[in-house]
Amino acid sequence: MTVLLTGCAGFIGSHVLDKLISMNEKVIGVDNFDPYYDPSIKYRNIEHNLNMNNFVLYDADIRNIKEMNGIFKDNRIDTVIHLAAKAGVRPSIDDPVLYEDVNIKGTLNLLELGRKYDIDNLVFASSSSVYGANEKVPFSEEDCVDWSISPYAASKKACETFCYTYHHLYDLPVVCLRFFTVYGPRQRPEMATHKFTRLIDEGQEIEMYGNGTSRRDYTYIDDIVEGIIHSAEIKEGYEIINLGNSEVVELRYLIKVIEESLGKKARIRQLPDQPGDVPITYADISKARSLIGYNPQVKIEEGIRRFVEWYISESATVHNSTFVQNQTTDAVQSADDAGRKEESYEMVQG
């Protein structure tokens, strides 16, 4: 099977890439290394796969239909796993047009190319944010999701609608996966788990929005990857599936677990609730269990322990790499300075 994996260098995408490579599937990876956060982080996520025979990387933008058409034309693609997107609720409020452009246009391009090149199926990364401020918990795939409270959520809901349309018109099999607060190694640096861990470790103040009682269905990356891989085996119909842990964790407890894993105490500054945030996310995963055998294994305490272990290792690696790079840069600059001094001396002597 040949899989087109968009967002292959990102947090979730790089873990899916690892899994597909280990399964000996051929992967056509697409990522535009968007500077939403440091692109060098994304390169580190996938550098160990760059020399694998079953992996081809394209530095391309899903909004560029000409580029994407060329990729489809040059590779016989069976399955598309579409993870690329502009992420984040709060940033989408500041720039909704960009979120519409990347998330909706990019997804529509892939659906159109999937139809044109007759792919077997497409897996789309949606989000639990589509449930908005739903008061009924846990959230079920059957719930009404017409009331988005952020442009990010609205863009994901629009993409689900386009996915259904392409299934209806062209019989394209599609699975839309609603992810619930994914965390783990390689998590984006601005996300709560990563940000809190870094700030607590550095002895800096963390900002807690609200009184700390907001609850999230934190889902460990390994469980999400298993759900994605099994969803890619569905080759008929149109499905929406929740992928969560089906256990809610208060913000205050998340901070406590991070403190215990780091062995350090948090300095907390309480701030008002933020626009677009919801009080709870909570997944009903009964459909995922029955349809794809989804069975999340990692509890929050173990997941945070693994994340902190990775964070400490990654911080040491980056520090050492930066030190070596700075030493090399200093040496090059010194050599350049010496060369300029020598050149100046020769000019004076001449």
Active-site annotation, residues: 152
Cβ atoms of residues 199 and 230 within 8 Å: no
**Cβ distance 188 to 11 under 8 Å?**
yes
Phi, psi of 177, deg, nearest 5: -105, 120
Asked if 120 and 171 count as a contact pair (C-beta separation under 8 A), the reply is no
Measured distance CA(220)–CA(270) in Å, rounded: 26
Q: Which two tokens stand for residue 221?
A: 């990356």
Distances (CA, A) of 47 to 50, 62, 236, 312: 5, 21, 34, 19
Amino acid letter for position 100: E
Query: 93 φ, ψ to 5°?
Result: -70, -35
C-alpha 106, offset from chain centre? 16
Question: At 324, is the secondary structure helix, strand, or coil?
Answer: helix
